[in-house]
Amino acid sequence: MHEMGQFHRAGARFRAFDILTASWSCVILLANSVITIGNPLPAVISLRTADGQSRINAAIKGNSSERIYEPLKLRREELVRPYRPEDLPVIMDIANRAWRGIYRMFREIYGDELFELLVPDERTSKGEQVRAHCERHPEWVFVCEEEGRIVGFVTFRLDFDRKIGEIGNNARDPDCDLKGIGQQMYKAVFDYFRKHGMLYAKVFTGLDYAHAPARRAYERAGFNIRHECVEYFMKL
């Protein structure tokens, strides 16, 4: 079969194949109409007309050179792109919501007094960290969009002396149930690192239960050189 092309309608993608005669015609079933792709121009066959219905019936019974194709059910595509200033409120909100579980864990471990010294306002602290990075290095932030809606972000930085690129704060919108957003963002960052001469990628995360999903995501992305450390506090 020879691929003829791709056709878009109402956000869905359809693909037709030329397996017919020299007329290069095929038929794509689209909801309430059938589009015949031919030479020189497409013609629309309406299901609501007797002629259109008879042509469709003939194709179904094999009494016609026209063929009917079901639309391919493709996964909706996400787009990873560079950060724009107007993205800031959205990614700050994603960060603040994504870190709620981690901050609950920190409060359990540290206790209220130490936690409140480390995290002045758990409702906004992570978003403010993201804001500071975006204002300082807007070129080192990517966002992931799904059908025009921002569903994730990743910050990073480049150490040109050591040739190590480091992934920083990153998150998927907790209200978005699409899979693979993080992996797409990490791949885009790795490509950026390579393009700018980095030899290694680095990321830091916790060994606690709240960071378990992050550890799995980083290992799935290919991080395989591991160094464990521990952070201690004591009351004076």
65 and 26 fall within a common domain: yes
Least confident piece of the model among 12-16, 18-22, 152-156: 18-22
Domain harbouring 199, CATH code: 3.40.630.30
Structural domain for 217, as ranges: 78-221
pLDDT at 57: 56
pLDDT tens sequence across 86-135: 999 999 999 999 999 999 999 999 999 999 999 999 999 999 999 999 99
Q: Higher model confidence: residue 168 or residue 9? A: 168
Instruction: With CA atoms as reference, report the closest residue to 141 among 119, 159, 156, 123.
Output: 156
Q: Of the candidates 51, 69, 87, which is a domain's last residue?
A: 69
- In this structure, is residue 233 part of a structural domain? no
Q: Higher model confidence: residue 75 or residue 54? A: 54
64 and 128 fall within a common domain: no
In angstroms, the CA 153 to CA 124 distance is: 17
pLDDT at 206: 93
| Tokens, residue 64 | 């016609």
- State how many domains the chain has: 2
Q: Of the candidates 69, 92, 125, which is a domain's last residue?
A: 69
- Name the band, by pLDDT with cuts 50, 70 and 90, for residue 194: very high
Length of the chain: 236
pLDDT at 136: 98
Q: Which residue has the tokens 């079933």?
A: 29
53 and 97 fall within a common domain: no
30 and 113 fall within a common domain: no
29 and 95 fall within a common domain: no
- In this structure, is residue 86 part of a structural domain? yes
Spatial strand order of the sheet with 43-46 comes to 43-46, 33-37, 26-30, 68-69
154 and 98 fall within a common domain: yes
| Tokens, residue 212 | 């378990």
What is the secondary structure of 78-122 as a DSSP string? EEEEE--GGGHHHHHHHHHHHTHHHHHHHHHHH-HHHHHHH-S-T
pLDDT at 61: 55
Instruction: With CA atoms as reference, report the closest residue to 81 among 188, 169, 156, 166.
Output: 188
- Name residues whose C-beta falls within 8 Å of residue 186's C-beta, 6 or more positions apart in sequence: 154, 167, 217, 218, 221
pLDDT at 125: 97
SS3 content of the chain, % helix, strand, coil (to 5): 35, 30, 35
Q: How many C-alpha atoms does 37 have within 13 Å on its Cβ side?
A: 21
Rounded to two decimals, what is the model's pTM? 0.67
Burial of 85 (0-12, 13-18, 19+ CB in 10 A): exposed
Looking at residues 150-156, what average pLDDT do you find? 98
**Residue 54 DSSP SS3:** helix
